[in-house]
Amino acid sequence: MQNRQVLFVKRPVGAVTPDVFELRDAAVPEPADGEVLVRNIYLSCDPYMRGQMGESGYSRGPFELGLPLPARVVGQVEKSRRDGFAEGDYVWGFLAWAHYSCQPADMPLWHVDPAHGPISHGISVLGMPGLTAYAGMLKYGKAQPGETVFVSAASGAVGSVAGQLGRIAGARVVGSAGSDAKVAHMKDVLRFDEAFNYKEMDIGAALDKHCPDGIDVYFDNVGGETLDAVLARLNEHARLPICGQISEYDVMNSADQYGIRNFPNLLRKHATVTGFSVRDNMDMFDEFVLRMAALMKSGDVVYTEDIVDGIENAPDAFIGMMRGENIGKRLVRVGEDPTLG
Ligand SMILES: NC(=O)c1ccc[n+]([C@@H]2O[C@H](COP(=O)([O-])OP(=O)(O)OC[C@H]3O[C@@H](n4cnc5c(N)ncnc54)[C@H](OP(=O)(O)O)[C@@H]3O)[C@@H](O)[C@H]2O)c1
C-alpha cells in the first residue's frame, strides 16, 4: 500500500502556482501507542491556507516546507491505538493532504456521525465554514427583520450560509460573486433577494442599485474595493463582521494591498466593525450543529459542495478555488466514501 501525499515545497509570491506543491509516494505509517491511522476521504481547500503558505503565516504560523500540506480532513479510521476510536469510525481532524494520515497522540480527532448527513458535512456546512457563517451573522451581524444584509463571496462555503441565515432572520439579502452562474445560484438556489457579478459591474453602482436603502449588515469575505464601496453606503448603527479579506491574500503586507478610503464613514454612521475568527466561537459549536442540522433538514438552508476527485488534482483544486472556480464548498475526494450508496 502506498501513501500518496501532496507536499508543500515552495512559498508562493503572489498567486499560488502548481510548483508550490509536489506529489510524493511514501509508505503508509504504522500507528504508535495513542495514535490513529486515518484513511483520508475528503480534503478541505480553505482560503486561510494561503496565509499559512507565506513567511509570516498570517494569524496561525507558517506551514513547514517539505511536509504534506496540513488541512481539515474527513476520513475513516484504518487502525487505532487510541481509546475512543475504533476501526471503521468516521472522523475529522487537522490531518494532511495525503491518502493516509497518522494522527499523533497529542492531536485531537472528532467523530463524524453519518446519521447527520453526508460525512463531508463535517468539514463544510456542519463544520468550520458553517460555524463561521453562523457566528458571523448571528453574534456579530445581528441581522434584523427588514434590514439590508450584503454578503460578498456569497456563493462560497461560508458566504452561502451567511446569506441564508440573514434571510432566515427576516432581512433582505444581497450577494456578490464573480460569475453569472454564481449569481443564478444565489438567486435561484440560495433564495437571496438580489445578487450581482462584481467582475461585470462597478461595485458601487451595483450596491446603489441593489441596496437602495443602504446597508445594515455587511458580511465581509473579500475586503478591498468591495469593503470600501460598502463603507460609503452604511446605515446608522451598521454592523460589519469581518470574516475574510481574500482579495488581499496574495498581496498581504505589500504595497499592492488596497488602500481603504471610506473609513471615516464608520464614525459618522456609529458602525461596529468586528474582525472575528471561527476559533473564537467554538463555545457555540453544539448549539450551531443542532440548529444547522435542523435548518438543512427543513430545507431552509441548502448547501452545495464542489468536489474534485483525485489527490493529484488537489493543487489545481486549491488554485481554482482561490481564482473563484468553485460554487459552494471546494473539497477534494481522495478515497472511497463508503456512505455513498
Ligand atoms: N474568520 C474566520 O474564522 C474564517 C473562517 C473561514 C473562512 N474565512 C474567510 O471567509 C472567506 C470565504 O471563505 P470560503 O471558505 O467560504 O471560500 P469560498 O468563498 O468558498 O471560496 C473563495 C472565493 O473567494 C472569491 N474570491 C477570490 N478572489 C477574490 C477577489 N480578489 N475578490 C473577491 N472575491 C474573490 C472567489 O469567488 P468569486 O468568483 O466570487 O471571485 C472564490 O470562489 C475567505 O476570505 C476566508 O479567508 C474566515
pLDDT at 258: 96
Measured from the Cα of 329, ligand 1's closest atom is 20
- 115 residue type, one letter: A
Are 80 and 167 in the same domain?
A: no
- CA-nearest of 322, 215, 220, 238 to 275 is 220
With a CB cutoff of 8 Å and minimum separation 6, the contacts of 188 are none
> Model confidence over 16-43: pLDDT tens digits?
999 999 999 999 999 999 999 999 999 9
Residue from 59, 197, 198, 221 whose mutation best tests the ligand 1 pocket (most atoms within 8 A of CB): 221
Residue 243 Cβ inside 6 Å of ligand 1? The answer reads: yes
pTM value surpassing 0.85? yes
Residues in the chain: 341
178 lines ligand 1 (CB under 6 A): yes
| CA distances, 74 to each of 38, 269, 316 (Å) | 9, 44, 20
Q: Is the residue at 338 inside a domain? A: no
- Grade residue 57 by pLDDT with cuts at 50, 70 and 90: low
46 lines ligand 1 (CB under 6 A): yes
The pLDDT value recorded for residue 341 is 74
Assign 82 a pLDDT band (cuts: 50, 70, 90).
very high
The answer as to whether 191 is a domain residue is: yes
288-303 per-position pLDDT tens digit: 999 999 999 999 999 9
pLDDT at 189: 98
Residue 340 inside a domain? The answer is no
Q: Indicate whether 8 and 63 sit together in one domain.
A: yes
164 and 289 belong to one structural domain:
yes
Could you read off the pLDDT of 266-285 as tens digits, one per residue?
A: 999 999 999 999 999 999 99
In this structure, the residue with its CA closest to atom 26 of ligand 1 is: 324
22: its cell numbers: 509536489
By alpha-carbon position, which residue is closest to atom 36 of ligand 1? Answer: 324
How many domains does the chain contain in total? 2
Q: For the residues 220-230, what does the mean pLDDT come to?
A: 98
- Is residue 158 in contact with ligand 1, taking CB distance under 6 Å? yes
Cα separation, 49 vs 338, whole angstroms:
28
CATH of the domain at 97: 3.90.180.10
Number of continuous H segments (helices) and E segments (strands) in the chain: 9, 16
Which atom belonging to ligand 1 lies closest to the Cα atom of 246?
A: 45
- What is the model's pLDDT at position 303? 98
Q: Locate all alpha helices (DSSP H) within the chain, ordered by sequence.
A: 48-53, 128-134, 159-168, 180-184, 203-210, 224-231, 264-268, 285-298, 314-323
Work out whether strand 194-197 and strand 148-151 pair parallel, antiparallel, or are unpaired: unpaired
Mutate to test the pocket of ligand 1, among 60, 124, 158, 318 (most ligand atoms within 8 A of CB): 158
Residues 219, 150 contacting (CB under 8 angstroms) = yes
CATH code, domain carrying 265: 3.40.50.720
What residues make up the domain containing 8? 2-124+304-333
Here the cell at position 183 is 449569481
Q: Provide the 10 A C-beta neighbour count for residue 181.
A: 12
> Is the pLDDT at 256 greater than 80, yes or no?
yes
